[in-house]
Amino acid sequence: MSASSAEAPSFPVRRTCPYQPPDVYREISDRGPISQVTLWNDRRVWLITGYEEARRLLADERLSSDRSYDAYPTMAPHLGAPAARKLVLVGEDPPIHHHHRRLLNPEFSLKHARALRPDIERIVNGLIDRIEEIGAPADLVEHFAAPIPSLVMSALLGIPYEDHAFFQSATAGVMQGRDPAHTEASAAELVRYLDRLVTAQERKPDENLVGRLVAHVESGELSHDEVVQLAMVLLIAGLETTSSMIPISVLALLEHPEQLAALRDGEVPAAVAIEELLRITAVTDFAGVRWITDDIEIDGRVLKAGDGLVVSSTMANRDERVHAEPYEVDLARASRQHLTFGYGIHQCLGQNLARLQLEIAFGTLVRRLPGLRLAVPAEELVMRRTGTMQSVERLPVAW
């Protein structure tokens, strides 16, 4: 290992265990809560692995999420595509971020999410009915993990579910693109599709999120293109994270049968269990990617203006100062001290809806299929090889 790679190891690194970090992450974290790593393009950035340090920095106004600047760290080659660098909401700073967030907050309130419970329960039960019809082995990715957020987001945004094959493929192309050209082409297809959807809603708005957003076009608070871009970001975020987390969380449960039994037997409520699954899986290795606009002194270090900064959700979630035995899966831990949804002004807008989907998905799955088990040896499972979302390609199960 060269002196340079020893000082600043490569980041991110693909997992070998779907729900645990690679060993090099532990080595980096052992150096302290703030260190340096090297990205794919040889750029050095600050990596934050401490929970409290991460929260302090993610709340610091001297950090920017604006991806239009060269100072913003690009975490993978495909994310250098123009479409990935101009994403609204997630790639914005105040005041425009506050404006967009204010218009969307009511749509993702806890009250609004809870009102969707009957619909989500119907969706999840319907998918399990279908799995039972298919019979073992069934692929839990194709027949459960992917359809849940697709059906929920279709209903929320007013997108016809019969188009799910297209928008699942297009959103995956943006987030898991092979290269910048693939990401750009996928984003362009998605924009064209959503542009037609927004235009139709402008002519005759329905009672859905996009229909309500177009009312802000009439008032001058949003432009047509902004509604298209907001719909795209919501669709991508709503699909990719939940569909990636479900299969690796199921795998974690299957490999910890005593934990699975605690959930199945009601010893640990599903609403409690999902917090530990969120903590342990953290399907993306970063809870925040920023660049520094003005020097920041923290813990005896000076982070310079123009430096890039990445918060590792994977390791901040395993901070030994916060969690005892942080690499162990303990559904009864009952702690929300994790950064899987980020922190600060960019904390996940849809976390209430995501939690509800996961609670219903896991609670219903283990109740309806109590004998759930892998249908293939665990070593035959293939990790996703593209993009920055961690998951498995397929998860064949029997019951």
What is the band of 176 on the pLDDT scale with cuts at 50, 70, 90?
confident
Parallel/antiparallel/unpaired status of strands 301-303 and 296-298: antiparallel
> Both tokens of residue 364?
């219903």
Write the pLDDT tens digit of every residue in 217-227. 989 999 999 99
Write the pLDDT tens digit of every residue in 234-284. 998 888 899 999 999 999 999 999 999 999 999 999 999 999 999 999 998
Instruction: Report the top-level CATH class of 3-398.
Output: mainly alpha
pLDDT given at position 5: 61
How does DSSP classify residue 6?
A: H
**Calpha distance 114→189 (Å, rounded):** 33
**Calpha distance 153→209 (Å, rounded):** 10
Domain extents in the chain: 3-398
- Of 185, 227, 177, nearest to 205 (Cα)? 227
Average pLDDT (347-352) is: 95
**Calpha distance 399→182 (Å, rounded):** 38
**Calpha distance 374→257 (Å, rounded):** 12
The answer to whether 238 touches 210, Cβ cutoff 8 Å, is no
Torsion sign across C-alpha atoms 341, 63, 303, 308: positive
Helix, strand, coil content of the chain in percent (nearest 5):
55, 10, 35
Contacts of 159 (CB under 8 A, 6+ apart): 153, 167, 197, 210, 235
**Calpha distance 243→397 (Å, rounded):** 16
Write the pLDDT tens digit of every residue in 270-320. 999 999 999 999 998 889 999 999 999 999 899 999 999 999 999 999 999
pLDDT given at position 205: 87
pLDDT given at position 1: 37
